[in-house]
Every structure is written in C-alpha cells, then in structure tokens.
Homo-oligomer: A and B are copies of this chain.
Amino acid sequence: MTDTTAIKVGETSRRAVGRDGVLDIAARLFREQGYGSVSLRKIAEAAGIKAGSIYYHFGSKDEIVAAVLDAGIQVVHESMREAVTALPSDTDGETILRTAIRAHLRALLDVSDYTSANVRIFGQVPQPVRDANLPTRRAYEAEWDRLLSRLQNDGALKHDVDIRQLRLMLIGTLNATLDWFDPNRGSADALSRTYADVFLNGILERQDT
C-alpha cells in the first residue's frame, strides 16, 4: 500500500496523493494528451492539489517525465522477461516468440499507463530527458536481442535475418499499435496472435498447401 496519510483541511478531509499518486496521474495524462499539452497545473488539478505543491515531490517537470519514462520501460521489460522465463524449458521457439510479443503488447495496451506514456511521448521530450532514459531502453533492447539470437541459434529463425533489424522492426510494429488501437474493437491478445502470425509465416499464399 502507498503510505497515504489523511489530511484534514477546513471541513473536508483530503487524502494525500503523494509522489506515487502524482506520478500515476502524470503518466495517464501523458499517455492521453502527449507531452506538450500536459502542464504542471493540469497534473496538479487532476491530482487534486495545486501546481506549486508538485515541487515538494519533484525538482522539475523533467524529473517527473524522466520517472515516467523509466518506469514505463521497466514495466514492459519485467513483463516480457517473466512471461518468457515462466515457460517450460522445452518450449519451442515459435511459442517463446509469441509469448514475448503478447507480453509486450499487454503491457502497452492493457496494463501500464507508464509504458504507453513512454512510447507516446519519448519523441516529444527534451533531449536530456530522452538521454536519461536511454540506458533503461538499451537494457530492454538487449533482452530482446538475447531472446532473438537464442531462437536463431536454435534454428527456429532464419539465419539470414539481422537480429538488430528484426528487433527494431518488431518493437516498432508493436508500439505503433498505440496510434490506432481501440480496446472496444479488439483485444491485445487477439492482436498479438495476428502480429505473430504475420511475422512468423508471412502473408503470402503458399504453393505447398
């Protein structure tokens, strides 16, 4: 539980939102409206506090954004790693890749405002903030590269595909979903199956059927 101490002001009793509360709201607003449209006053209003109060928890707006960005990658990174680790050790390559794709898409579309906010606003934040997020990103990318390389060495993937290129294409495709996905029209799981089908087998009609 977050340590939310109750505070009485005047007659009504307010609940302290605290650092985590502010961060949650910031992540949601960033995901919904992008970086530039979300001012500290908007975040404060949504959190039920005043703009200046944010500076009790954070040193600057950039610090908030940086925290959101880092958390966003960490969530999807752990989701993906745990989903793959939880598989039986004799799982075939195709299933492993499908599992990783599904985990990434779930974090992005279902689970985390932080992950979706990261994907949405990374290209909009000032460069110092972007740079600060890079190490965390690289760690997640390395996780994918290890996974894909393992599958390729095991003979599951074609040997002539470039791992880095494939990873960029994969994550790029998954993340692009955020621009159009409507939870009322489909589920992350169904979509991840479609994606995996295309990536694994292609869309070309085969002669050998």
Contact = CB atoms under 8 A, between A and B. Distances in A.
Nearest to A190: B165
Interface in A161-209: 161-162, 165-166, 168-169, 172-173, 175-177, 179-180, 194-195, 198-205, 208
Interface string A149-160: 000000111110
B200 A201 contact: no
Contact of A176 (B36, B156, B175): B175
A124 interface: yes
Contact of A200 (B176, B177, B204): B204
Q: So how many copies of this chain end up in the complex?
A: 2
Contacts of A159: 205
Contact of A156 (B165, B198, B204, B208): B204
A69 to B, nearest CB: 14
Contact of A165 (B36, B162, B194): B194
A81 to B, nearest CB: 21
A202 B199 contact: yes
A199 B198 contact: yes
Contacts of A177: 168, 172
A123 interface: yes
A18 interface: no
Given A94-B204, A157-B205, A165-B194, 12 more contacts: A34-B124, A37-B126, A120-B123, A156-B204, A161-B203, A168-B180, A169-B173, A172-B179, A172-B180, A200-B203, A200-B204, A201-B201
Q: Which 5 A-B pairs have the closest CB atoms?
A: A36-B36, A172-B176, A202-B202, A201-B202, A173-B173
Interface of A: 34-37, 94, 120, 123-124, 126, 155-159, 161-162, 165-166, 168-169, 172-173, 175-177, 179-180, 194-195, 198-205, 208
